[in-house]
Structure 1
Amino acid sequence: PLLCYKRHQLGGRGGKKEGAQAGEGGERRPPSPAPPSGQPPWQEIRAEGLNCDYRLLFGKAEADEIFQRLEEEVEYFKGKGREMTKLHVFGKWHDIPRKQVTYGDPELTYTYSGVTFSPKPWIPVLNRIRDRIALDTGHTFNFVLINRYKDGGDHIGEHRDDERELVPRSPIASVSFGACRDFVFRHCDSRGKNATRHMKPIKLQLAHGSLLMMKYPTNVYWYHSLPIRKRVLAPRINLTFRKVMTVAKK
């Protein structure tokens, strides 16, 4: 994790890497020069059907402050019963190995692994992150899924963010705070015993205060996961901002 924080402090000067590293199988063009504002440049992460852009969104001091506010102000779903804290997979309910909650505009719903989420109303720290993403990318979002991983034992398995409620072809903005964790992309044709192709996974490390823009068609072809990493002892908070379709009530 310390390595990620050191990369974070490099900023975007001289085209140095800020913390997202594409593993074997990834294609990435050299980063462009830093913009006039002094912000780090975007890094393009490309492979067949994979279209992602990455850069540091917040400097270390601001990222530290936001992380502390998230720890104090975000209210996660409670572990009572099956609703909100369990996933329905292959006919069985499983505890979620992390804390989770959704925030968003009123009357939105989002269904994931057999559970329908109704978001809590926006709070200032989430609006602050959302506004920064909009300023930086030009994309606005009406919903966020927050996952808190207490240490390297908390994780999320391979999945695609392709739920039917999402606006077609809309990007997903993934913002990370806290401990640096491995983030792995795997092509749908190269998964499991019945894989039809051999494509190496693409591994990234997402730094404290970073933004990963997952753009179409990434979630059509590529699964992603946050595997168990026992050596990681510190917490990580990840926020995935999404564009969810609003459905008028009958």
Structure 2
Amino acid sequence: MEKFVVRGPNKRSCTNDALIRSPRKKVKLEEDERLKEEEDEEDEDEALAEFSNPVPWQKIEAEGLDCDYAQLFSKEEADKLFKQLEEEVVYSTGEEAKVQVFGKVYNIPRKQATYGDAGLTYTYSGVRRSACPWTPTLKSIRDAVTKTTAQTFNFVLVNRYKDGQDHMGEHRDDEKELDPLCPIASVSLGAARDFIFRHRDARGKQSRRQIEPVRLELAHGSLLLMNPPTNTFWYHSLPVRKKVLLPRINLTFRRIILDRKK
């Protein structure tokens, strides 16, 4: 299911030898062709420059699942960002630190915070959360994601897992206020953790189909893009991993549609 997307050089048509009438004309045509190729390559390099970091992208695909994965930050950069987030992010407490599942209220098995543009709110698992103003580090990471993906984001959900006991159950990020055409960009910092996708038709004992789950290991400094229609057909989770002893911070950047918040 996994493959690398490799950008190769453009294929170019050869010059028609029947049109070459003399050595002089042949040299001129070859020179024109060479200049044209150089110009095309320059244009292509400029077009790809915005997306040149990170490379290569790894494509993860299955029925209705479309994701891209890459290393966004080096270890040194990721270490620095993790430390800065530990100093800047203020996590939710009280009712905002709870979720509602099948009518029952539970404490969230991790720390959580929401940041974004002024006035934005996000309803998740029965709890409505307001966006705190962007911190300098969150804004810097958001801008790096935007530069890499050419997608803009106005909201981020921050989850901090103290160790492998902290986890996230199966769910889909399909809330109505999210732009359905925009991918969700997930940046991972800290301990590498397993991330599991499960098709909606293959969940539970009464599942209708046999579709294998897709497992990824999200590394320190990595970026996962969950493109449409992934969140329509696939649930995802971060299961308990008792052997993981170190903390992890995950940032899921989203685009909230303002008109739907009125």
1:169, distance to aligned residue in structure 2 (A): 2.1
Residue 32 of structure 1 corresponds to which residue in structure 2? 6
Aligned to 2:252: 240
Instruction: Report 1:140-155 matches (<5 A).
Output: 140-155=152-167
Give percent identity, aligned residues only.
60
* Structure 2 unaligned regions, length at least 5: 9-47
Residue among 120, 143, 149 paired with 1:137: 149
Equivalences for 1:1-250 in 2 at 5 Å? 27-32=1-6, 39-78=54-93, 80=94, 83-247=95-259
Contact 2:156 2:253 in 1 (8 A): yes
Q: 1:48 to 1:100 in 2, by over 3 A?
A: same
Matched residue type, 1:46: E
Offset, 1:40: 3.0
Once the two structures are TM-superposed, the CA of residue 109 in structure 1 deviates from its matched residue by 1.1
Q: TM-score, normalised by structure 2?
A: 0.81
- How much does 1:38 deviate? 7.2
For the pair shown, the structure with the greater C-alpha radius of gyration is 2
Matches of 2:106 and 2:206, distance apart in 1:
25
Gaps of at least 5 residues in structure 1 are 1-26
Give the corresponding residue for 2:14: none
AA partner of residue 175 (structure 2): E
Q: 1:109 to 1:213 in 2, by over 3 A?
A: same
* Contact 2:54/2:148 (<8 A) preserved: no
Count of residues in correspondence between the two structures: 221
1:19-61: per-residue Cα shift (whole Å, max 9, x none)?
A: xxxxxxxx12234269886743100000000000000000111
Decide whether aligned partners of structure 1 residues 60 and 220 sit closer, same or farther in structure 2, where only a CA change above 3 A counts: same
In structure 2, do the counterparts of structure 1 residues 53 and 249 end up closer, same or farther at CA, with 3 Å as the change threshold? Answer: closer
More helix by share: 2
Taking the aligned partners of 2:140 and 2:193, their CA distance within structure 1 comes to 24
Q: 2: CA distance between counterparts of 1:111 and 1:119?
A: 11
RMSD, aligned α-carbons: 1.7
Offset, 1:164: 0.6
Shift of residue 100, structure 1, vs aligned partner? 0.1
TM-score by length of 1: 0.85
User: Which has the higher relative contact order, 1 or 2, with Cα contacts under 8 A spaced 6 or more apart?
Assistant: 1
What is aligned with 2:18? none
Q: Give the corresponding residue for 2:40.
A: none
> CA 1:46–1:133 in structure 2 vs 1: closer, same or farther (change >3 Å)?
same
